[in-house]
Structure 1
Amino acid sequence: MGVNLSTVVGKNILDLEEKGWFKPSVTRKVLEEKRKISIVQQNRFGRKILAVGNPIFNKKRQLERIVIASRDITEVSELKSELQRAKSLTQKYKEEIDELRNHQVVAVNEVIYRSEAMAQVMEQVKRIALVESTVILYGESGVGKELIANAIHNSSARREKPFVKINCGAIPENLLESELFGYEKGAFSGASLQGKKGLFELAHEGTLFLDEIAEMPINLQVKLLRALQEREILKVGGTRPIPVDVRIIAATNKNLEEMVQRGQFREDLYYRLHVIPLYIPALRERIEDVEPLVYAFLEKFNKKFSTRKFFSEDAIEMLNAYHWPGNVRQLQNVIERAMVISPGNLITANELTSILSRRGEKDQSPVQVNRIIPLKEAVELTESQLIQLALAKYKTITKVAEVLEVSQPTLSRRFQKISRNRKQETKP
């Protein structure tokens, strides 16, 4: 109790309770209930004491004395509280994951979404999968065009057959033809003596995904057009056409129609590919998808790194408000980097600020006007940059709305308006 025993000998223990030396009194409870009592007391110094009062009765079953055994359990209590807090955080993390899984979050062929924009895309995917028509996917880099192509294939009658992909911009021009169509033995210097099958043959009865189709050289576009029209290919160095049964899905982040007008893409190939165009919206145009994607990536990397990390509420708000120029690919990279560099299990907005801020951004003016533009457009650009600048500094939507002197609903509407305008600008 933190007192000299000699000073309390002979004192009434109930008086000591009234003076605040400890509370509650186990003696009083034993006197009232005439049985063994165990309680946790708190002394005047704030320490927790486990007190066990044992009644001793005489032969007439009258209470003669009370023996009290006391033990300081302050540290045990604190450890228990810490453990409980840790359990609460873990439970909160699990509940958030479960809620997001069950709250209008859909995952189809690894495509995770909640927004109405992506729901419409996936509805089109279902219908497109039922036919054999050629598809071209439009969208910015990083929006997940390959995932959509895979979803079309996996929902089609060709799902049991190969899904073969190639990035037309990642392979040198002199090798791209042999990769696509294969070559006969001895077709050129260094060629394999056995020859080689091309991707068209490997994708026979399946799907061939031609990513970055706009990067394909003009001279190869002629050969690709023939393969699409005749459903047969001619190997490099070959003389005999080879029939192929392949469904083509192409993708690009460029405007092919404009490229046709500039003479950079064959018009006949454009119309052959443009049978079913499908636009994949940028992540900033479907902000509702950010949070379920964050938790999906969080679960993925927690499993990969054997960790149990999670994001604070202000960090989630910051991720929701960011404009994501690199789309889903950038979001995934940011989540992975944040999980690697954060020292603790809780990832806060402070740790995200350094990751999301662009080099030299602090030295720039929040508004950049380099040409004469309509006033309405200038206002929208100013709003967009000002909101991003405020968010980087104050971390939360609530604080940003307060600093900019607008309501949270107004701030959300401004974001939606800016996103819609960007969508119109980026549509092919």
Structure 2
Amino acid sequence: MVSENPNFNPQKAISTEFNKTVGQHFLQQIIDNSYDSMFVTDNLGNVLLANKGTGKFMGLTTGELVGKNVKDFVKNGVYDWSPTMQAIKTRSIVSGIVRNNQGEQQVVTSKPLMDEFNDIVMVITNARDTDVVNQYIEALEKERTTAHIYKTAVKYLSDTDGGNKEIVAESKQMRQIIRTSNFIAKTDSTVMLLGETGTGKEVMARHIHRNSHRSKEPFIPVNCAAIPHELLESEFFGYVRGAFSGANPQGKPGLFEIANNGTLFLDEIAELPLSMQSKMLRVLESGEAKRLGDTSAYRANVRFIAATNRDLKTMINQKLFRSDLYYRLNVIPINLPPLKERPEDILALANKFLEDLNRKYALQKILSKTATQALYNYNWPGNVRELRNVIERLFITSVGDLLNFQEDFFINSISRSDPPTEKYPPEKNKFYEGTLKEVIKAVEEGYINQVLTECSGRVGEAAKKLGIHRSILYRKKNNK
């Protein structure tokens, strides 16, 4: 039959029909290869197109789906309700969970497509297994939790006195301790730091962490004596939202989580109550912790360093400290000697503190010989912490560049009740040893100190009297 249309092109008509067939074929391939379940209906809910995922969920072939109405699927119990019909009824996007007759669930979304007259032409529905969606939600929640942990860690660390603290050691004792700690740092063994208050236990803990394979991870210092007993468990373990009244609505990561892969420094460990000691022991033994209100535990990959100035063995006998926790913590004990037992470190530490203060305030203050001698003669019951405080107090209150105790108002704070045994004798009684170069240097230092004392710490005047420039005098003092 020949068309009466003069513009009719039989070849073009055949080509158009072919392209339509091929196009539909590719469209079917596209939706069949979609990971999601997908089907298309008209404005009455009759299925026009469906992929294999939809058929699998409904227990029907695509041939059994096409041409059927979604109302019949609900009526016959194929699934419990139809987001497609709801989208047609409300003329809007509808989402929800649909359950099939096998109890399987999918998250389904139906979207109506409108023509230029705002009439529904068709409805596109896609769905995805709830297990997959739950995996996404779980992954997102994990990322959100991790981000919250990092945020909490940053806030926690910003509230602590991290500082760039370095170990200063001139004494034989401390040098041996540092050599031992450098070896220990390469392991994950638990360390117990023992020593009087102010001997630098936290500084040593930081040194161990800084030289370990965990150095790029958090170092979290915790003063166990500073946390109220009723808050200890929530601080260490954290809690989920709604765990108790007054809790952070987002929940809170515990110290074990914040320090994950890093080091947790438990200072004043002897102050933990017995109830918390048992919980701490469980974490040390199992490597797992659980937030308050949570049903599942998390791995706590933490290196523990504990510290105390108390006799834990005596506390064990007094039933104040658990023996099993003690032996679990006391894997590698390090005893830090008091400052009075390592006088070689006194001047080294004093100069380090003075150097830090000079750098901070852009000054060039130095210790007088009288001040140096006084530092040696004092027994330092407060150890390194007291020495640092004395140097800072002397630095702030001194008038000139030469720090001299006689000029300071707190001279009585570093006096002994008994006559001191002079560990640093006056220069006139000094017996020189060493090479000629070393003796000349010692005599030079003694004379510089003498002139500075005579000039009441006025560096310019002392430099003029010595016949050198004041910058040279500063350099000689700082490089001694």
> Which residue of the partner structure matches residue 230 of structure 2?
174
Task: String of CA shifts for 1:101-149, please: whole Å, max 9, x gaps.
Answer: xxxxxxx971011110100110110111121111110011111101111
Task: String of CA shifts for 1:4-35, please: whole Å, max 9, x gaps.
Answer: xxxxxxxxxxxxxxxxxxxxxxxxxxxxxxxx
- The 5 Å alignment of 1:27-66 reads none
Query: Once the 2 structures are TM-superposed, how far is the Cα of residue 341 of structure 1 from its aligned partner?
Result: 0.8
> Which residue of the partner structure matches residue 74 of structure 1?
none
Larger radius of gyration: 2
2:382 is aligned with 1:326: yes
2:282 is aligned with 1:226: yes
Query: Once the 2 structures are TM-superposed, how far is the Cα of residue 239 of structure 1 from its aligned partner?
Result: 2.4
Query: Once the 2 structures are TM-superposed, how far is the Cα of residue 355 of structure 1 from its aligned partner?
Result: 2.5
- Distance in 2, Cα, partners of 1:126 & 1:347: 35
DSSP 3-state at the match of 2:426: helix
> Which residue of the partner structure matches residue 91 of structure 1?
none
TM (norm. structure 1) is 0.59
Q: For the structure 1 residues 109 and 315, does the alpha-carbon distance in structure 2 shift closer, same or farther, using more than 3 Å as the test?
A: closer
> Which residue of the partner structure matches residue 357 of structure 1?
412
Query: Once the 2 structures are TM-superposed, how far is the Cα of residue 211 of structure 1 from its aligned partner?
Result: 0.5
Alpha-carbon RMSD: 2.5
Equivalent of 2:330, from 274, 278, 293?
274
- The 5 Å alignment of 1:7-406 reads 110-351=166-407, 354-358=409-413, 366=417, 385-387=418-420, 397-398=425-426
DSSP 3-state at the match of 1:386: coil
Number of residue-to-residue matches in the alignment = 269
Does the 8 Å contact 2:238/2:292 carry over to 1? yes
Does the 8 Å contact 1:338/1:351 carry over to 2? no
DSSP 3-state at the match of 1:331: helix
> Which residue of the partner structure matches residue 77 of structure 1?
none
Deviates more, 1:302-311 or 1:218-227: 302-311
Unaligned 5+ runs, structure 1: 1-107, 367-384, 410-428
Query: Once the 2 structures are TM-superposed, how far is the Cα of residue 174 of structure 1 from its aligned partner?
Result: 1.1
Query: Once the 2 structures are TM-superposed, how far is the Cα of residue 349 of structure 1 from its aligned partner?
Result: 3.1
- Distance in 1, Cα, partners of 2:183 & 2:207: 12
Task: String of CA shifts for 1:284-311, please: whole Å, max 9, x gaps.
Answer: 1111011111111111111222222111
- Distance in 2, Cα, partners of 1:387 & 1:320: 10
Task: String of CA shifts for 1:226-271, please: whole Å, max 9, x gaps.
Answer: 0000000121222221111101000000011111011000111011
Q: What amino acid is aligned across from residue 162 of structure 1 in structure 2?
A: P
Does the 8 Å contact 2:191/2:306 carry over to 1? yes
DSSP 3-state at the match of 1:204: coil
DSSP 3-state at the match of 1:111: coil
Q: For the structure 1 residues 201 and 356, does the alpha-carbon distance in structure 2 shift closer, same or farther, using more than 3 Å as the test?
A: farther
Query: Once the 2 structures are TM-superposed, how far is the Cα of residue 356 of structure 1 from its aligned partner?
Result: 4.9
Q: What amino acid is aligned across from residue 398 of structure 1 in structure 2?
A: P
Unaligned 5+ runs, structure 2: 1-163, 433-480
- Distance in 2, Cα, partners of 1:184 & 1:296: 45
Q: What amino acid is aligned across from residue 410 of structure 2 in structure 1?
A: I
Deviates more, 1:256-265 or 1:296-305: 296-305
> Which residue of the partner structure matches residue 104 of structure 2?
none
- Percentage identity across aligned positions? 46
- Distance in 2, Cα, partners of 1:408 & 1:182: 62
Write out the 4+ residue segments of structure 1 that deviate beyond 4 Å after TM superposition. Answer: none
Does the 8 Å contact 1:397/1:408 carry over to 2? no
Comparing both chains, which one has the higher relative contact order based on Cα–Cα distances under 8 Å and sequence gaps of 6 or more? 1
Query: Once the 2 structures are TM-superposed, how far is the Cα of residue 165 of structure 1 from its aligned partner?
Result: 1.1
